[in-house]
A and B are shown apart, each in its own frame.
Chain A
Amino acid sequence: MADTSIPSGLPGAWALEARGLGKRYRRGWALRDCSFRLPAGRICGLVGPNGAGKSTLLGMTTRQVEPTEGELRIFGVAVGEASVMPRFAFLGQDKPLFKRFTVAETLRMGSELNPGWDMAAAERIVRSGDVPPHARVGTLSGGQRTRVAFALAFGKRPDLLLLDEPMSDLDPLARDEMSTLLMAEAVERGTTVVMSSHMLTELEDMCDYLLVLAGGRIRMAGDADALVPAHTLVTGVTRDGRLPAGLDGHTVIENRVQGRQFQAMVRPNGPLSGDWQTSEPSLEEVLLAHLRSPDAPPLYTPGARVGAEGTRTA
């Protein structure tokens, strides 16, 4: 899948491009040395433990947080410029809406504040969920409110849709409904989607691109299809309670020793040979291994890394 990672050099080919991006709060750096590229048209999962910097990154992308250093571009336009605003839509974690507005008024707000508003699309999304248009938003159920928030986001006709834990407060049925809606709308319009989530399975189903953050730094960035095969799960017998020397030349992300047995997540730097068993890990296993080992060297698939000028040695 590496071919899709390298679009032509046009400035708009990258939905999101960060160079040396960082944000320092009073308590310290929430995000630092963040450099990556996201090609247009992908569904990107933003993964990381709590406090990893996911919300900070989304906040900087949506102009809610001012970067301390570095630069961030959406389709080639710096986020500081007002002209970037019609190009993205954001759905926050608690999906704030005006509670006293009716659903119809909420959609009218979208049409009043957005130049490219598509009322037909927004109304279609609301109607397909049987949300009464004259009900006040405050009286709707969680699933219905999320649907209205989705309608507001998609009615904007964004090129980049940013979602912060979009499904976290939904019951399984509503969650399924919303993911279907999200995928259908995104595919139909070719919208680039960035969604942060705790649900690893959800990401596995929906995302074809991954951005893994931990401790305010990028751990992995790139095609989901290329990130997983870069790893191998090795199971074997320990030598004197340590990993066999045959693994020394490779990058060991994480290893666990149980009795005389070890299991290690390895990023091979060449052919792996030895008296052990290898298997291909699942996406979830790779992600967990990286999240548990914040000191492992970060991995970028080709194209996800930006030029050296923005990347500093850690």
Chain B
Amino acid sequence: MSTTPTGTPAARTTRPRLLRGLSWLVLRQHRTTLICLAALAVLGSLWIVYQRGRLIGLLDTAGWPEQDVALPVVGQQYSYLTLLLGSLPGVLAVFLGAPLIAADSEQGTAQLVTTQSVTRRRWLIAKLGWCFLITLAVCTTLSAFFTWWWTPYRSVLSDQWMDGTVFDNTGPVLPALALFLTAAGVTIGALLRRVLASMVVTFAFCVAAQVAWDVSREYLAPARRLTYPLDEELPARLSDAYELDSWIATADGQLYGWGTCVEATEKASAACIADTGIVSNVYEYLDYSQMAAMQWTAAGILLAGTALLTAFVLWRSSRRPL
């Protein structure tokens, strides 16, 4: 239409523009959030490097792994760190995801942007794209650093690999969980269109999701079962395994509860064992070697959920205004 060139006076475009169009708009609008998250990623990573260095120093002095060290070797800082990492997906969901669209709906800036020459869908793709990219970058960085620390020293660290503090904070799970919860926050924000309300609902959703996630984590891989003689100890290679259940069993495989023959005296117990014909222990567990597969399965499920929520938000935006 107009033939006037966009950058008439020379002074205005002295600096070359790296970002254009919607990317510029989205990053300018969320500049403060972006800076905060970048700082969080950098400081968090440095903190992990520092703590890891201290742990190595401590273990070297103690002569580990030739000699045992007195546990716990890590102090309060380790708990703070796992707490920080564990709450990161929720924090991102509540403070980045929930207001992402809700704030623009509430302040009318959604209307401002979508009455320029961009469609709602293009604007949303830009917003969600950058939001997910930033979430992914921050969480992948922190997860990578934490994994790099935890994996070689896991035997001296207090928590087990199946604990949420490890399973959810290492490998691909941390970024995937953060993406899923953030996408849920975005969806809630797009539906409620009010910042405060969507932040509260997102927080409640995060708590509920975390509880459900804790329960369902052990179903991510098929359980393994080991039968070994009653009078033997559990094989040492299973010291890393996560116990799901254990029984005592007869020769033909009939299972009895763990406390079946717990009697007042040893004699009575032995009699009970002989009576029922119990000959072996049965141990049901998840092996540490299954962890990587379980984490990628978890990430796959969470990413599928993220894709579903994102598709819903985009589909809805083409039918209804924001």
Residues of A within 8 A of B (CB): 59, 62-66, 82, 85-86, 88-90, 92, 94, 96-101, 105, 108-121, 156-157, 159
Complex Cα spacing A118 to B6, Å: 6
Query: Could you tell me which B residues sit within 8 Å of A by CB distance?
Result: 1-2, 4, 6-8, 12, 20-22, 24-25, 28-29, 107-109, 111-119, 319-321
Give A65 to B12 CA distance when docked, in angstroms.
37
Q: Is the CB of A112 within 8 A of B25?
A: yes
- Chain B residues with Cβ under 8 A from A159's Cβ? 1
B321 touching A65, Cβ below 8 Å: yes
Given contacts A113-B25, A116-B1, contact A98 B114 (CB under 8 A): no
> Which of B2, B20, B25, B115 lies in contact with A62, CB distance below 8 A?
B115
Q: Which residues of A contact B112 (CB under 8 A)?
A: 92, 96-98
* A156:B116 contact, CB within 8 angstroms: yes
Cα A96 to Cα B106 in complex, Å, equals: 10
Flag if A117 contacts B6 (CB, 8 Å). yes
Interchain CA distance A145-B315 in the complex, whole Å: 34
Complex contact A98–B29 (CB within 8 A):
yes
Known: A97-B109, A118-B4, A119-B7. A82 touches B22 (CB 8 A): no
Q: A64-B321, A113-B22 are in contact. Are A90 and B115 (CB under 8 A)?
A: yes
A82 touches B119 (CB 8 A): yes
Given A85-B117, A116-B1, A156-B117, decide whether A66 and B320 contact each other with a Cβ distance below 8 A.
Answer: yes
B194: min CB distance to chain A, Å:
16
Residues from chain B with a CB closer than 8 A to the CB of A114 are 116-117
Q: A92-B108, A113-B118 are in contact. List 20 more A-B contacts (CB 8 A).
A: A62-B115, A64-B115, A64-B321, A66-B321, A82-B119, A85-B115, A88-B115, A90-B111, A90-B115, A92-B115, A94-B108, A97-B112, A98-B29, A105-B28, A111-B6, A113-B21, A113-B113, A118-B4, A119-B8, A120-B4
Closest to B32 in A: A100
Q: How far is the CA of A66 from the CA of B319 in the complex (A)?
A: 7
Given A105-B28, A113-B22, are A86 and B117 neighbors across the interface (CB < 8 Å)?
A: yes
Residues of A within 8 A of B319 (CB): 66
Which residues from chain A contact B119 at a C-beta distance below 8 Å?
Answer: 82, 85
- 18 A–B pairs (Cβ distance < 8 Å), ordered by A: A64-B111, A64-B114, A66-B319, A66-B321, A85-B117, A86-B1, A89-B115, A92-B115, A96-B108, A96-B109, A109-B28, A112-B21, A113-B21, A113-B22, A113-B25, A118-B2, A119-B4, A121-B4
| Nearest 9 A/B pairs, CB to CB | A96-B108, A113-B116, A116-B1, A90-B115, A86-B117, A85-B117, A157-B2, A114-B117, A118-B2
| Cα distance A119–B1 in the bound complex, in angstroms | 13
Pair count A-B, CB < 8 A: 86
Across-interface contacts of B108 in A (CB, < 8 A): 92, 94, 96
* B16 → chain A closest CB, angstroms: 14
Whole-angstrom distance between the alpha carbons of A138 and B7 in the complex? 26
Residue of B7, B111, B115, B321 with highest tally of chain A CB at under 10 A:
B115
| A residues less than 8 Å from B321 (CB atoms) | 59, 63-66
Give the complex CA separation of A28 and B17 in angstroms. 49
Contacts of B116 in A (CB 8 A): 85, 109-110, 113-114, 156
Give the distance in Å from the alpha carbon of A207 to the alpha carbon of B37 in the complex: 51
B111–A113 touching, CB < 8 Å: no
Q: In the bound complex, how far is the Cα of B319 from the Cα of A86, in angstroms?
A: 20
Contacts of B12 in A (CB 8 A): 119
Complex contacts, A63 vs chain B, CB 8 Å = 114-115, 321
User: Chain A nearest CB: distance from B286 CB in Å?
Assistant: 49
Chain A residues in 8 Å Cβ range of B107: 96, 99
* Complex CA–CA separation, A97 to B2 (angstroms): 24
- Specify the chain B residue showing the minimal Cβ separation from A117: B6
The chain A residue with its CB closest to the CB of B321 is A64
Residue of B nearest to A109 (CB): B25
Least CB separation from A159: chain B residue? B1
Q: Chain B residues near A59 (CB, 8 Å)?
A: 321
B117 neighbours in A (Cβ, 8 Å): 85-86, 113-115, 156
Q: Would you give the shortest CB distance from A97 to chain B, in whole angstroms?
A: 6
CB distance from B97 to the nearest CB of A (A): 20
Most buried by A among B22, B111, B319, B320: B111
Neighbouring A residues of B111 by C-beta, 8 Å: 62, 64, 90, 92, 96
Contacting residues, chain A, for B118 (C-beta < 8 A): 85, 113
A contact residues around B29 at 8 Å (CB): 98, 100-101
A98 touches B22 (CB 8 A): no
* From B1, B25, B111, residue with most partner A Cβ within 10 Å: B1
* A120 and B8 contacting across the interface, CB-CB below 8 Å: yes
The distance from the CB of A201 to the nearest CB of chain B, in whole angstroms, is 28
Cα A235 to Cα B30 in complex, Å, equals 65
Closest partner residue, chain A, to B29 (CB atom): A98
Complex formed: what's the CA distance from A100 to B30 in Å? 10
Closest to A113 in B: B116
A98 vs B28: C-alpha distance when bound (angstroms):
10
Whether A157 contacts B28 in the complex (CB less than 8 A), given A85-B119, A112-B21, comes out as no
